[in-house]
Amino acid sequence: MGESIRRVEGRVRLGPLTLESGEVLPEVELAYEDVGPAEAPVVLVCHALTGSHRTVGTSAAPGWWHPLVGVGKAVDPRRLRVITFNVLGGQDGSTGPRSIDPRNGRPYRARFPFVTIRDMVRAQRLGLIELGVNHVVAVIGGSMGGMQVLEWGLMYPDFMDLLVPLAVTPATSAFAIAFNAVGRLAITSDPAWREGEYPEDDPPAVGLSLARMIGVLTYRTPEQFARRFGRSLKHGWGHDHREVAFQVESYLLYQGEKLVERFDANSYLYLLKAVDSHDIGRGRGGWREAARGYRARIVAVGFRGDLLYPPEEIRSFVEHLRALGKDAIYAEVASEYGHDAFLVEGEQVGEILRRHAPELFPDPAPASADPEGAALLAASRSASEKTVPSPISG
């Protein structure tokens, strides 16, 4: 990356970490991406289920949230320092099931302890302190990332000025947990899972692929599938029970295969359990009582058609916050992408940020005077035009 935009990718060592369960991880590391001027105001971005710390990325490989975060976008690393950690339990460099247990020299695999959203946030705060950051101007995230945002505001209420939770409710619903349960069963029923002791070159590919296909169905909407696929045929109907007759079948298989190529099944299982654990009211007298603990300003965003985290529930949450006298705003995005709209509708989300927090997210400056920035912007636009971001929700 050129000199005009500073970008660091590395790991921070946190030492031992006591989890919410009481179990202790003897050695914890978090992988991170840190982009933007070192002295600029810090924005912490929290990633979703199968995301990573590479939020901004490079001109050659734009990050996973390029519709919203990047040069010329609402969250612009030319004027903000953007930090993302790979979550605890993840598989992109942070301590998780693939990590070596220092007590026996073997990978944890299914012996890794269960982690919660609160454990993730506790580790991230320690990571920020290690990076010399004692305060951030905003914490932003969608889906599982939004869960982290909500917990950040309760666990460390004075650490930030603004919370931006997208596509997330105060607790994971029974409906969402049910889909996660089916996904887990798909993986653990695959003989190749081997109670989590599978070799890396022979993972439970069928189970993980099925789990992903199930997830994708909850991330999108019937309207989007109807417009994109309709009843278009792939190879023709009526030859074999395993045939891929319709284009929509081919798409789901592709999404499943893509995840198998890049994601660890055990990490997927652990992160699903973390999502199920999400409830800001757990141990705090219920979510309505817990909401009294927020001190930062909140801009919560819902997405029409979101099956997992319905916008009307997010709106009700904000109405309750306002009734408590909190500085909270609700905004809603209309999109056929449903839950995944938080990844896709960067322009709409960006406008919401500019409208409600213009001091942090002003209209972007042109990238033409910044060669590296222009290259990043061009790469990001190209990626946006060619593909819809792969689902990384949850």
Q: How far apart are CA 18 and CA 369, in angstroms?
A: 48
Which one from 52, 59, 94, 143 is the annotated catalytic residue?
Answer: 143
DSSP 42: E
The distance of Cα 136 from the centroid of its chain, to the nearest Å, equals 19
306 an active-site residue? yes
Is there a binding annotation on residue 212?
A: yes
The distance of Cα 358 from the centroid of its chain, to the nearest Å, equals 24
Q: How far apart are CA 74 and CA 135, in angstroms?
A: 20
DSSP 9: E
113 contact partners, CB below 8 Å, separation of at least 6 = 19, 21, 23, 25
Q: How far apart are CA 72 and CA 70, in angstroms?
A: 6
CB 322 within 8 A of CB 290: no
Is there a binding annotation on residue 54?
A: no
Q: Which two tokens stand for residue 115?
A: 């982690």
Kindly list the distances between the CA atom of residue 256 and the CA atoms of 180, 219, 246, in Å, as whole numbers in the listed order.
15, 14, 16
Query: What b-and-e string marks burial along 30-44, b requiring 16 or more CB atoms within 10 Å of the CB?
Result: bbbbbbbeeebbbbb
Which one from 59, 339, 390, 393 is the annotated catalytic residue?
Answer: 339
Angle at Cα 283 formed by Cα 282 and Cα 284, nearest 5°? 90
Which one from 76, 190, 306, 370 is the annotated catalytic residue?
Answer: 306
Torsion of CA 336, 321, 75, 379, to 10 degrees: -20
- State the CB neighbour count (10 A cutoff) for residue 92: 20
DSSP 103: T
Active-site residues, by number, are 143, 306, 339
Going by the annotation, the residues of the binding site for substrate are: 212, 340
